[in-house]
Every structure is written in C-alpha cells, then in structure tokens.
A = this chain, B = another copy of it.
Amino acid sequence: MPSPFLAAARGEPHDTVPVWFMRQAGRSLPEYRAIRGEGSILDAIHQPEVAAEITLQPVRRYGVDAAILFSDIVVPVAAIGFGVDVAPGTGPVVETPFSSAADLDRLRPLEPEADTGYVLDTVRAVVGELDVPLIGFAGAPFTVASYLIEGRPSRTYGKTKALMLGDPVLFGELLDRLAHMAADSITSQVQAGASAFQLFDSWAGALSPAHYERFVLPHSRTVFERCGELGVPGIHFGVNTGELLGSMAAAGPDVVGVDWRTPLSMARGRVPEGIALQGNLDPAACLAPWPAVEAEVRAVLADNAGHPGHIFNLGHGVTPDLDPGVLEQVVDLVHAEGEVRSP
C-alpha cells in the first residue's frame, strides 16, 4: 500500500489523513525512559542500536504513519567538534559560542559517513524494520546558528540578532556553512534510506518577515535546492511563524509546518497551492481531559476540510508531561475520522 504520509506530502490521492508527532520518540514514553540513562541525549544518539530502538518505539505504540529519526539538530555541529552538548533539562549548550570571523574556522564541512556514521547506521537499521517512511532531519541554518551564537537556549535571541544586523556578511557566511552542513546531513540520511526530511527552523518565528527574508530565507533555500535533487519530500517547520509561512514555502519545501496559532484554513491562504501543510494540534491542549482533546482533534480536521495536502501533527513537539495514552487516542481518531477529498 502506498504511504499516506508521502501521498499527503505531495498532495496526491490517499484515503486517510496521515499522522505523526514531532518528538514522538522521547521523554513522554516509558519505554524510552527505560532504555535511556541519565546524561546527554547525544550519548544515546551515538549508539545505533539504542537510537534505532527509540526511533521504532512510537511507531509500535502509536501506529503513526511515519517514523522520525531519533537524533538532534546539533548532532552535525557537535560531530565536527564545535563543542556542543545537550544538557539535560536545558538543551543545547556551547562551550565557546560563535562570536567572530575566527569562529568560522571551527565550522569545517561535514563528512557524514566519517563524522556521523552512527546516525547513518541508525537509519539503515531502522528502515529494515519499518513499514512506514522514515523522516530524516536537520536543523535549519538560523536555528542552529542561534544556538551557536547564544551558547544556550534563549528567549530573545539578542546576540543572534545583534550579529545578524551588525555584521550581516559574517552572519551570512555562518548560515551558508550551516546550510551546506544541513544539506550534507540530510543527503546522507536519505541515501541511507530515509524517505522524507524535515528542516527544523524552530526559532525562525522570532524574526520579523523582513529580517527572515533578507537574512535567513536565502540559506534555507540553499538547503531545499540541494535536497530537492534527492527526490523525497521536504518539510519546513517552525513555531510562531504565522507571518513567515509564505516565505518558508518560498524556500522550496513540499510541506510547511504550522503551529496552532494559525488555523490551517488561514495558513492555506499564505502558501502557494500545491504546498501541503503539517499540523496543528496544540500539544498543551493534549493535557486536557479526553473529551476536550477529542474536540480539538476534530476541530483541526474540520478546519482542513479534507484537503489532500494535510499531514496531521502537533503544532510543536510532544512535551515530557504528555500522556502517551492520549496520543494513542489522537492517532486512532485521526485515522477513523480524517477523510480526504480528491485532489
């Protein structure tokens, strides 16, 4: 049977709305916590057997229509030795943040097999076990740059914006290197067996449309242009991106992720016809009692109105406090009620 996930990504006919969840593999699953010790997530990613098992867990439990590789957007920059770790409870931290042209020398090109062979081993192990597509991914140039510049998660991205506006040439060189790193990483994942990819520009929504278009879009476009040759669909995702959806579509993806702040019906008017949408259940809404969650799921489906270019997902990742039982019910409901009209 053809994959409804791949069909929806291309707006092609299929029977039922496909569904997967960002961060479906992770902290909300007891079977994940059982095999992950303490310590950095990067340790688990380095072990293909562990990472493959974690990737498969949510597919088994939820019956989602796609798996997403268990990895992290900072893996490539960590792998080339930039000095990045993922601190439990905090997120990515950088020992010596990016601050000047000299730091460009710390960003050599990624050699995927040599630097991140363990990731590709995970991909190869997973695709042998899966009967749904595997989504590979990379961090988008802006979001990875924000971690490298800030040195840790930020609410304001002040250092990032100061560099972006104050030294646009250096900022552009940084993003160009990160764009090629993302494209190299995605290419290697697809060559190892991934059937689609997502470019996570999670924090692009911190930018005004003018800044996004001038400083970020050209580099995200580089990623999609290079990955367009791979022949698999690409998804472009961020949060708080209501005003950026058209620009994010212009970068060249097949699918644009939408958070819950922008109704899908409104998002349709901001992207060209032929671009599919992914989203957009509020993950925090899943903490409510089931009847309320059910109403929210139905509202997302109703808002999409059977458009064939729709992949059901949360508007952002699964949070650790989410009950996996609720997500199981969400998948069942989407599969039962998610009708697709003819393209």
Question: Chain B contacts of A299 at CB under 8 A?
Answer: 210
**A218 on the interface (CB 8 Å rule)?**
no
Which of A26-34, A131-139, A280-288 lies at the interface with chain B? Answer: A280-288
Cβ contacts under 8 Å, A321 to chain B: 158
The oligomer's copy count stands at: 2
Chain A residues 251 to 289 lying within 8 A of chain B, measured CB to CB, are 260-263, 266, 282-285, 287-289
Q: Is A101 on the interface with B (CB-CB < 8 A)?
A: no
Question: Does the CB pair A287–B162 fall under 8 Å?
Answer: yes
Check if A158 sits within 8 Å of B287, measured CB to CB.
yes
Report the nearest B residue to A315, measured CB to CB.
Answer: B208
Residues of B within 8 A of A208 (CB): 260-261, 263, 282
Chain B residue, CB-CB nearest to A266: B243
> Mask for A132-172, Cβ within 8 A of B = 1, else 0?
00000000000000000000000011111110111000000
Query: Are B210 and A165 touching (Cβ within 8 A)?
Result: no
Contacts A210-B299, A296-B165; A284 near B243 (Cβ below 8 A): no
Nearest neighbor of A157 in chain B, beta-carbon distance: B284
A156-B319, A262-B243, A284-B156 given; A289·B161 CB < 8 A: no
* Chain B residues in 8 Å Cβ range of A283: 156
Q: Which residues of B contact A262 (CB under 8 A)?
A: 243
Quote the shortest CB–CB distance from A147 to chain B (angstroms): 16
Residue among A165, A205, A260, A262 with max Cβ neighbours from chain B (10 Å): A165
Closest chain B CB from A202 CB (angstroms): 12
A242 at the interface (CB under 8 A from B): yes
Q: How large is the interface on A (under 10, 10 to 19, 20 to 34, 35 or more residues)?
A: 35 or more
Whether the pair B261, A165 counts as a contact (CB closer than 8 A) is no
Residues of B within 8 A of A206 (CB): 261, 284
CA distance A164 to B292 in the complex (A): 10
**Beta-carbon contacts under 8 Å, A302-325 to B:** 319, 321
How far is B243's CA from A293's CA once the two chains are assembled, in angstroms?
22
Of B161, B205, B266, B285, which is within 8 A of A287 by CB?
A: B161
Query: Which residues on the B side are within 8 Å of A165 (C-beta)?
Result: 285, 288-289, 292-293, 295-296
Interface check A117, CB cutoff 8 A: no
| B-side contacts of A319, CB under 8 Å | 156, 158
CB of A161 to closest CB in B, whole Å: 4
What are 29 contact pairs spanning A and B, CB under 8 A? A156-B284, A157-B284, A158-B319, A161-B284, A161-B288, A162-B287, A162-B288, A162-B289, A165-B285, A165-B289, A165-B292, A165-B295, A165-B296, A166-B288, A205-B261, A206-B261, A206-B284, A207-B261, A208-B261, A208-B282, A209-B261, A209-B263, A210-B299, A240-B240, A240-B261, A242-B242, A242-B243, A243-B261, A243-B266
User: Which A residues have a C-beta under 8 Å from some C-beta of B?
Assistant: 156-162, 164-166, 205-211, 240, 242-243, 260-263, 266, 282-285, 287-289, 292-293, 295-296, 299, 319, 321
